[in-house]
A and B are shown apart, each in its own frame.
Chain A
Amino acid sequence: MNFRKQFFEGLLTKNPVTVQLLGMCSTLAITTSLFNGLGMGISVTIILICSNVLISALRRVIPSQIRIAAYIVIIAGFVTIVDLLLQAFLPELSQSLGVFIPLIVVNCIILGRAEAFASKNGVLASAVDGLCQGIGYTVALVVMSVLRELLGSGTFGGGLLGGGQGYTVIPDPYPAMKIVMPVGGFLTLGVVIAFSQWLVARIEKKNKKKEAAKV
């Protein structure tokens, strides 16, 4: 198994958010503090691993005509389990993510990976795929959250560090409040994707040079 390649793909070259442009609803909506971004990222990663494993294990049992329906039911099951667990054990997170927890069901990343990977590969490989894609998703969310929180509320680590308030970096009248509002979501994601496109282009250029040197 080339774990390194899968990891690198999930993180950058095939990152679910910045390259595949999947699951953008939650990416835009909840990335207003580190707590939210990290919480959402971890929830999705757990669901992604579980659904990938189960779907991969059942891939010979489920007839292809009803596979999408079966996947959706399985995914909805895991999402509800995570939803209930969050409500019971992390009520603050559940409150601030609100309806976006059950909406993970229609997050295209999970159905996308089920269809593109788990339905064709073994259990272990699917688990690793879920983990790598999940990490890629989480990293993208955390980057978005940190940027938006810093520029919009002027704090770092809100809901998590510094007694739940986060550490103030930019004092009160200066943060651009619009960045934590919907507008900021679009703008920040645009800039983050632009940066990742630039990074990917640079790496590809380097690889080409290396290959050219080899020849």
Chain B
Amino acid sequence: MTKKATALYVLRLSLTLFLITALVAAALAGVNGITAPRIAAEKERKTQAAIEKVLPGGGTLVDPGSYDNQGGLVSRVFASDAGYAVEVAPTGFDGAITMMVGVSRDGKVLDISIISHTETAGLGAVAAADTPDGESFRAQFRGLSGELSVKKDGGTVDQLSGATVTSRGVTRGVSAALKCVASLG
């Protein structure tokens, strides 16, 4: 094969591959156009469900105005007559734990709900599970206020066995939510 023919052949190979990739990309863009709004809506529904849980009977939600985002830990805050729902994303044992913390007007934790996480199944994941252990872990935050820490660090929060780092993460998230609400005045 002459040099020119080889170059042409390589060009043809690259062009074919490029065309296939372009077609795939176009198809994906089309599908994404249909699914993206639905995926976003699904995520929003989950957030709403979490707010509903931590801030029961809260009435209409309003924007609380400017707040201190605690070094980026707080992503969103919703206010209502009953109090505030604060979305925080502290780091656990393994990646971020996205959770909703309900805080009453007088600065006490109403309830917490974990929206998504990637903690270890059977250990850290217990924090978010619908099991008696998980329920009691989350329930202990109710009514707490001020700066929180786990018992191992001299605080009041019972850490989950074998999942101190996860427990610490959740506790840090709750603390950040409380401080954030305090910054609202």
Contact = CB atoms under 8 A, between A and B. Distances in A.
A binds B: yes
Nearest to B27: A77
B20 A84 contact: no
Interface in A70-101: 70, 73-74, 76-77, 80-81, 84-85, 87-89, 91
A65 interface: yes
Contacts of B42: 87-88, 91
B20 A81 contact: no
Interface residues of A, number: 20
A65 B6 CA distance: 13
Interface string A4-27: 000000000000000000000000
A74 B24 contact: yes
A70 B16 contact: yes
A73 B24 CA distance: 7
A215 interface: no
A74 B28 contact: no
A74 B17 CA distance: 10
B31 interface: yes
Contact of B39 (A63, A65, A81, A84): A84
A81 B27 contact: yes
B24 A88 contact: no
A70 B27 contact: no
A213 interface: no
Nearest to B25: A77
A88 B21 contact: no
B34 A88 contact: yes
A85 B20 contact: no
A62 interface: yes
B13 A81 contact: no
A12 B161 CA distance: 46
B35 interface: yes
B48 to A, nearest CB: 14
Nearest to A177: B122
Nearest to B45: A91
Given A63-B16, A66-B13, A89 B38 contact: yes
Contact of B16 (A62, A84, A87, A88): A62
A183 interface: no
Nearest to A63: B13
Interface in B1-51: 12-13, 16-17, 20-21, 24, 27-28, 31-32, 34-36, 38-39, 42
A84 B17 CA distance: 24
B16 A76 contact: no
A61 B16 contact: yes
B24 A84 contact: no
A164 to B, nearest CB: 12
Contacts of B16: 61-63, 66, 70
Given A73-B20, A73-B24, A84 B31 contact: yes
A108 to B, nearest CB: 20
Interface string A102-135: 0000000000000000000000000000000000
Contacts of B31: 80-81, 84-85
Contacts of A1: none
A177 B28 CA distance: 40
6 contacts: A62-B16, A63-B12, A63-B16, A73-B21, A87-B35, A91-B42
Interface of B: 12-13, 16-17, 20-21, 24, 27-28, 31-32, 34-36, 38-39, 42
Given A63-B12, A65-B13, A88-B38, 9 more contacts: A58-B20, A66-B13, A66-B17, A70-B16, A73-B21, A74-B24, A80-B28, A84-B36, A88-B42
